[in-house]
Structure 1
Amino acid sequence: MQSINKQQDEFFDNKISCFFTKDYHLFAHDLAETISLPAIDQTTLNQKIQECFAHLVDQEEANPILVGAIPFDTTKPSSLNFYRQHRKQNSTSAASADALSPLQLKNKKQVIESQHFGKAVESAIEAFSSRSLEKIVLSQAVDFELLDSQKPADLASTLSAQNPYAYTFVVPVDQDSYLLGASPELLISKRNQAIRSNPLAGSRPRSKDAAINDLRTSELQASTKDLYEHQIVVDNILQNLDPLCQELEVSKQPEILETTTMLHLSSVFQGTLKDQDLNALNVALSLHPTPAVCGSPTNLAKQFILQHEGYDREYYAGLVGWMDAHGNGEWVVTIRCGLLSGQSIRLYAGAGIVMGSDAEMEWNETEAKMQTMLKTLNASIDAR
């Protein structure tokens, strides 16, 4: 596989972070410090972030940036990396998708079996009747072994080439592990007082056949279940963003966002913050976790997930992104992602459960999303 370039390989040897979009590629290097405080205590976290930036800004020729990840459960430690240097450049393809070598995987192991997932769906539907729950997002995870060791730089190149319109990230977390992925979902972008959010909820697999895609698009736009699921997410973000904004607009109706392998119902929020000093991570945490990855009401859905899902999501369905010393930045929802640890990788996928959900269909949706991540990694599985 062709790495981004020799210099960037050296950066990754020193725990570089990267964050790619269709508009820019951001590289952060010369790691200074990592904050592992739980994000649930925002006051303490903000104070520590300010201290780290103040220390780095005072250093000669410093160009500091924070790149990191917040777990789904904000009572767990974060992984916020502060770098002395970063550079941001226009997006350029490191390699064409056709030129990439496949990522060879073996020994697939289900972390969550379909039977367990199905029982959790049944329990969720029962909870809708007995409690004031509207939606619960349930997920599965799969572990693979790697046939060959992988450089994070090469995986960043693959992720970006395979899905150039996603938000691609490779970020060191927890000792020698890397969180990597290509998320389609922008939680918040902040530049001065201007903010933007692009929540997704409700989806169908994308086909290579245009006629089938047209049919599935029509199904999504007419689906009571999917439109209801999407509206829950939109209402939640509106409720949380509106108090922070002096102006806020949202799409009148959801549009279709296409990724390499999925079709999503998509809405766009654009607004102006009342307080320019409110930083991008603060705004992102005010929205986390959204009903798109947790459920509604948030606290009840989160409690259900922690009790019934059957494994620790860690950074999956959390936040990943960057922020500069002025509080500007972008944070995305940590989906279409994996956790690389030595010679193994864990991949994740989830589905929104509402009244009327069918366990088999929801499992199939998670399987389709799992295939999305495998395709995004240009992966092939050794069945021997």
Structure 2
Amino acid sequence: MHSITAALENLLGFLSDDMPEAPGSRIFDTSFPLNDAFDPLSWLCSQTQFPQFYWQHRNGHEEVAALGAVRQFTSLTQANAFLLQDQPTLRIWGLNAFEPENGQLFLPRLEWRRDAGKATLRLTLSSDVSLQEDARQASKFLTTLLPSRTLPTLSGELKGERHFPDHAGWVGLIDAATDTIASGALDKVVLARATDLRFATPLHAGAMMAASRRVNLNCYHFLMAFGAQSAFLGSTPERLWRRQGTQLKTEALAGTVASHPDEKQARHFADWLMHDDKNQRENLLVVEDICQRLQQDVNALEVLPPQVIRLRKVQHLRRCILAELKKPDDTRCLSQLQPTAAVAGLPREQARRFIENHEPFVREWYAGSAGYLSLAQSEFCVALRSAKVTGEVARLYAGAGIVRGSDPEQEWQEITQKAAGLRSLLLSE
């Protein structure tokens, strides 16, 4: 018998017990042996219930497939308030928009989770009225689940491609930004481009995620499917924060150079990045901003030496930041850290206004964050190297940090390199 079948039968057995006609929450966990070829992404994408959320940590040790919503939240603040009602073991998954007061997060009905070498399948009940009624709903939910199907091959005929802004618009945008920086109104602004790829037939977001997962190593992989034809996904190298109790880890990932399949050439580029004044300055601006924002909320703060992170298409400059929080507060972490100077600019509010007034598209989930929160710990990655899939259209996003001396052509090349991580999966050049 397949592991998933046995685990679901165990969960149905738990629901046969009498449940009270009273409000509350209950969790049922069953072990899940990792001795077969079960792929949580394929299983998740085979289901007809939504929302669906897939997550794989950048170090590979944790993987999650969350399905169906017991409760939904339109902001992290709302989700955190629910957890503070004495819900110590629940995890809530989802997205925070670029404007962090907006979100789409949910407490999943069913959550498959692998942590290191151990996997569990969790069923959650939660009701403001009757656990007995929610147990009936959960039982019905389990009986409608479908067997896992192999994800389709990612292929399609490209019918059109359009950039927002186009090249001429980008040059004008960068000129406006550098003029504003020269006037002293901004130190830095991060500007982005959206690229719509229109195909002849609808795209399969799960197949796109699987293809990215295979080749974009050292990245967080995430997929939020809102419905059968609508999803947001990405493979991003950047952590926004990880909190365990009062211990916080965050990072400044800013400064970019091309990668290369040849090891010697890649090291040459990395050495240049470590010594380039513009990129070092861009990274340190982010570090200084993060440290200033956290200063009132921490007892201790440490910035580690710079590293170069090598990805498939690009390499980045990264400085990790460790802090001890005065109290564990994910709502405060989100408001202080998102958007960082690495995705918005400095000063933050002025940069956000410049983006809102000048970028020819709305960022929505792009440059927001994806992950989970619980009372014990939380982790969110920055939603970069990402795409919105709507029917036959994939909208790809990429951005670049603009500072004094930025060149529009170099920045255009940089965002093209960044977008290539997902674009190359959809198109055979």
TM-score tier (shorter): 0.7 to 0.9
Q: Sequence identity, in percent?
A: 23
The one-letter code of the counterpart of 1:104 is: G
Name the counterpart of 1:292.
342
Q: SS in structure 2 opposite 1:199?
A: strand
Name the counterpart of 1:8.
44
Of the candidates 407, 414, 417, which is equivalent to residue 368 of structure 1? 417
CA contact (8 A) 2:40 2:64 kept: no
Q: SS in structure 2 opposite 1:311?
A: coil
Of the candidates 65, 71, 92, which is equivalent to residue 66 of structure 1? 92
Name the counterpart of 1:42.
none
> In the aligned structure 2, how far is the partner of 1:69 from the partner of 1:314?
10
Name the counterpart of 1:379.
426
Q: SS in structure 1 opposite 2:213?
A: helix
Shift of 1:120: 1.0
Shift of 1:5: 6.5
Of the candidates 261, 267, 278, which is equivalent to residue 208 of structure 1? 261
Shift of 1:11: 4.3
Of the candidates 248, 255, 268, which is equivalent to residue 307 of structure 2? 255
Of the candidates 18, 24, 28, which is equivalent to residue 62 of structure 2? 24
CA deviations over 1:130-150 (Å, ceiling 9, x no partner): 233111111101111234444
> In the aligned structure 1, how far is the partner of 2:206 from the partner of 2:422?
17
CA deviations over 1:197-237 (Å, ceiling 9, x no partner): 12210001101122321221121111111111000001011
> In the aligned structure 1, how far is the partner of 2:228 from the partner of 2:105?
13
Gaps of 5+ in 2: 1-37, 118-150
> In the aligned structure 1, how far is the partner of 2:352 from the partner of 2:257?
25
CA contact (8 A) 2:97 2:369 kept: yes
Q: SS in structure 2 opposite 1:104?
A: coil
Shift of 1:163: 2.0
Q: Determine which structure has greater relative contact order: mean sequence separation of CA pairs < 8 Å that are 6+ residues apart, divided by chain length.
A: 1
Of the candidates 95, 109, 134, which is equivalent to residue 162 of structure 2? 109
CA contact (8 A) 2:98 2:369 kept: yes
CA contact (8 A) 2:273 2:317 kept: yes
Higher-Rg member (1/2):
2
CA deviations over 1:117-175 (Å, ceiling 9, x no partner): 11111111111122331111111011112344444433332222222420100013599
The one-letter code of the counterpart of 2:113 is: K
Shift of 1:239: 1.1
The one-letter code of the counterpart of 1:51 is: F
> In the aligned structure 1, how far is the partner of 2:175 from the partner of 2:311?
30
CA deviations over 1:65-122 (Å, ceiling 9, x no partner): 32121221346x4212221332320479xxxxxx994443512122220111111111
CA contact (8 A) 2:255 2:282 kept: yes
1:260-271 equivalence runs, <5 A: 260-271=312-323
**2:239 is aligned with 1:186:** yes
The one-letter code of the counterpart of 1:232 is: L
Shift of 1:381: 5.2
Name the counterpart of 2:22.
none
Of the candidates 312, 327, 331, which is equivalent to residue 275 of structure 1? 327
Of the candidates 203, 210, 216, which is equivalent to residue 163 of structure 1? 216
> In the aligned structure 1, how far is the partner of 2:428 from the partner of 2:285?
37
**2:73 is aligned with 1:35:** yes
**TM norm structure 2:** 0.76
> In the aligned structure 2, how far is the partner of 1:371 from the partner of 1:220?
20
Gaps of 5+ in 1: 38-44, 93-98
Q: 1:316 to 1:7 in 2, by over 3 A?
A: closer
Q: 1:287 to 1:329 in 2, by over 3 A?
A: same
Name the counterpart of 2:365.
315
Of the candidates 397, 403, 406, which is equivalent to residue 354 of structure 1? 403
Of the candidates 77, 80, 83, which is equivalent to residue 46 of structure 1? 77
> In the aligned structure 2, how far is the partner of 1:323 from the partner of 1:165?
22
**2:118 is aligned with 1:82:** no
**TM norm structure 1:** 0.84
The one-letter code of the counterpart of 2:317 is: L
**2:272 is aligned with 1:225:** no
Shift of 1:245: 1.8
> In the aligned structure 2, how far is the partner of 1:12 from the partner of 1:166?
28
Q: CA RMSD of the aligned region, Å?
A: 2.7
CA deviations over 1:325-374 (Å, ceiling 9, x no partner): x2522111110000011221100001111001111101111111111222
Q: SS in structure 2 opposite 1:79?
A: strand
Q: 1:73 to 1:173 in 2, by over 3 A?
A: farther
Name the counterpart of 2:381.
332
CA contact (8 A) 1:186 1:331 kept: yes
The one-letter code of the counterpart of 1:35 is: F
